[in-house]
Amino acid sequence: MPVKGGGKGKQAPVGGGAASISKRGRPSRVSVAPGRVPFIRDDDDMTETGDGQDDWMQPKTLVKPDDQLELSEQELKEEFTRILTANNPHAPQNIVRFSFKERSYKQTSSVDQLAIHFALDGNMLHKDSDEARRQLQKLGLGEAVSEHTISEMGEEKKEDDEEGKYEIIKSPVPTPEEEGEKREDDTTTPAPAKGTQKLTNQFNYSERASQTYNNPYRERGTATEPPPRATFSSNATQWEIYDAYCEDLERQEKSKEKKQAMLKKDEEKSKKKLTAVETQGDDISRISRAAKIMERMVNQNTYDDIAQDFKYWEDVSDDFREQEGTLLPLWKFSYEKAKRLAITALCWNPRYKDLFAVGHGSYDFMKQTQGMLCFYTMKNPSFPEYIFPVDSGIMCLDMHPEHPYLAAVGFYDGSVGVFNVVEKNIKPLYRSTAKTGKHTDPVWQVAWQKDDLDNNLNFFSVSSDGRVVSWTLVKNELIYTDIITLKLDGTPDEGPDGTQIVTLGCGTCFDFHKQTDYLFLVGTEEGKIHKCSKAYSSQFLDTYDAHHMAVYKVQWNNFHPKIFISCSADWSVKIWDSMYTKGPMFTFDLGSSVGDVAWAPYSSTVFAAVTADGKVFVYDLNVNKYEPICEQAVVQKKKTKLTHIAFNPSQPTIIVGDDRGHITSLKLSPNLRKMPKEKKGMETQKGPEVEIAKMDKLLALVREPPQNK
């Protein structure tokens, strides 16, 4: 059977090959050597006799591109594995969603790996649907094709497909006979196609389809049990409501006691654990008392000369000076961790005369740090007896006169607290909070008062927020009561809503009268001193225009009931008569800001003051009404400021604190503590009456004579 499309004397295209029909009707392949073009004759039946063997027997040449790499055999044999997965590399791997079941965020394990490259919405309709029938009727195609015609079309299509398998590939160059037949076919009208024949690729064609796996749907359902119901009815009367409230109150108190008991148990457990650790790790805790006694003995041997001076030294040069005296420096107390904190409070213990408390804080309000409460004894100047670190700076403190183990403390953050030295608990027993009415500004002074009618301990505090507050220790909490608010003179300011806003003064210090319990003095930052009463909370009894700057200290005389002293930042110390408001009895200019002043416990006319230039001034009005009988610098560095001073209640010593965390103890020379001389044959009169008479004698020289009407 000749090949269709083969012309006479024609050459086959370059790179192609002549085809022959095999027994099964498929064309056979003929290989042609590159570069040679076979010539096909008209009478050639495409059979070879052996002459053309050289054409396909010749070896094939391998053509390489110029930029191909030269690889060795080992490199050619090396395999590179590439694994293709169906995972989307751009899909996120750490998607977190909220799980309502577990009430937390969980990472999702299943991530959608499907990536859609092309999507097109179709508009096909099923032929049997109502919408398809309506469209066919509208287009005039009539009813849908019957199943019989569809089956016939399918059979014809199969036959055509089988015939098409054995068709021969036609040559692109037609013969003259075919051209003539083609022209005749074009003139005739085309016959209608029996069915649409699918055009397929004549080479290697295959149809494949796949479908992705759809996750199965799961349904879960739960049924909750209905809550139990009960019918309740009763009558409510006044006494039943009262009883219910009483029971609720008792229940709340019991719950508080249980909480406190639990806290105590936890503290005891922690203490036991700490003691166990200490006993295991440090054997000296078993002999702590003996070690403390040994430490004191060693210190007494170390500072033996100072102890001898404290007990026996008297300045002989005072016999040659009529009025002036000196101060002998004794021990110097300091704690390594509190050196950068200023001394903000000093107070001697009322029972143990060698023990005193020190408050550490900061007067630099831009550099507020933690505070510390330390207790020192003159028997051991090298280390504090008790140490209580606190989170806020301590601004003031006071020891209870009857319970020497209780210390009331005022903090910079506006709160007050009570420490118990016996229990050795680092945290305070009581401390006020915002809920229990703490101050909004630093607390500048605290003072214990006599127990109330229920025998509850109480103390007072004053702050720069303008409030004087009484604090009562009831069970395990502090109960506050506002005693007085320091209102400034003048018309109140009007607020934005038309309300009148009363401006309050800033309280800096106060002191209670020694004999009259309800009477007390309050010093303010505006330089005024108010005489107040516990019974009147809305007005002052008297107001003294005392100083031009803030009042740092105000204190009643220890003997005379009408005399008090004040000091201020305006460099002055003034002595006042509470019955005379026009002006002070005495005024002394110390040449620098006066940080603190204190009356001597042994004389009504002796007082001492400290200044910011590091000097201590001691005055005795009975000796000299104009000049100090002792002016001495007690600090080594010039920039060191003295902040507080306190007289020992029984010994002739004073302690002075500075802004670098050091406390210096000083002994008064005999001229600074002159007692009335004993006359032969006469008993010397001693007692408060003598001191009051001595002060009255001085005041008589200063007071203005009464004017006759």
Number of C-beta neighbours around residue 294 at 10 A: 11
**For position 655, what pLDDT does the model report?**
92
HSE value, Cβ hemisphere, 13 Å, CA-based, for 552: 26
Q: What angle do CA 50, 51, 56 make, to 5 degrees?
A: 85
Q: How far apart are CA 445 and CA 398, in angstroms?
A: 8
Question: 655: closest CA among 410, 312, 386, 331?
Answer: 331
**For position 123, what pLDDT does the model report?**
81
Over the stretch 364-394, which tens digit does the pLDDT of each residue have? 878 878 889 999 988 888 888 888 888 888 9
Strands 606-611 and 615-620 come out as antiparallel
Q: How far apart are CA 595 and CA 555, in angstroms?
A: 13
Q: Which of 11-20, 253-262, 315-324 has the highest mean pLDDT?
A: 253-262
Residue pointed to by tokens 């295209």: 13
In angstroms, the Cα distances linking 634 to 305, 361, 599, 666 are 19, 21, 19, 9
Q: Which of 25-29, 171-175, 183-187, 601-605 has the highest mean pLDDT?
A: 601-605
DSSP helix/strand/coil, 327? strand
Crossing angle for the helix pair 288-302 and 304-312, to the nearest 10 degrees = 80
**pLDDT (mean) for 121-132:** 85
- Which has the higher per-residue pLDDT, 524 or 26? 524
User: Is residue 149's pLDDT more than 50?
Assistant: no
In angstroms, the Cα distances linking 390 to 271, 360, 365, 428 are 19, 10, 17, 9
**For position 30, what pLDDT does the model report?**
44
Residue-wise DSSP of 448-495: EE---TT---EEEEEETTSEEEEEEEETTEEEEEEEEE-BPSSPPEE-
pLDDT classification of 449: cutoffs 50, 70, 90: confident
Residue 307, phi then psi, degrees to nearest 5: -65, -40
**pLDDT (mean) for 135-158:** 59
Let me know: does 665 contact 651? Beta carbons within 8 Å.
no
**For position 144, what pLDDT does the model report?**
45
- Which has the higher per-residue pLDDT, 45 or 169? 45
Q: How far apart are CA 577 and CA 575, in angstroms?
A: 7
Q: How far apart are CA 394 and CA 373, in angstroms?
A: 7
pLDDT classification of 59: cutoffs 50, 70, 90: low
User: Is residue 5's pLDDT more than 80?
Assistant: no
User: Is residue 308's pLDDT more than 90?
Assistant: no
In angstroms, the Cα distances linking 231 to 39, 226, 234 are 115, 15, 10
- Which has the higher per-residue pLDDT, 334 or 20? 334
**For position 516, what pLDDT does the model report?**
85
Task: Give 175-184's long-range contacts (Cβ < 8 A, gap of 24+).
Answer: 175/4, 175/5, 175/7, 178/5
Least confident of 175-179, 299-303, 514-518, 590-594: 175-179
User: Is residue 610's pLDDT more than 90?
Assistant: yes
Number of C-beta neighbours around residue 223 at 10 A: 5
Let me know: does 409 contact 446? Beta carbons within 8 Å.
yes
Q: Which domains does the chain have, with CATH numbers?
A: 281-312 (no CATH), 322-708 (2.130.10.10)
Alpha helices in 303-414 (DSSP H): 304-312
Q: What angle do CA 476, 479, 481 make, to 5 degrees?
A: 165
Q: What angle do CA 238, 239, 242 make, to 5 degrees?
A: 90
Kind and range of the H or E run holding 700: helix 688-702
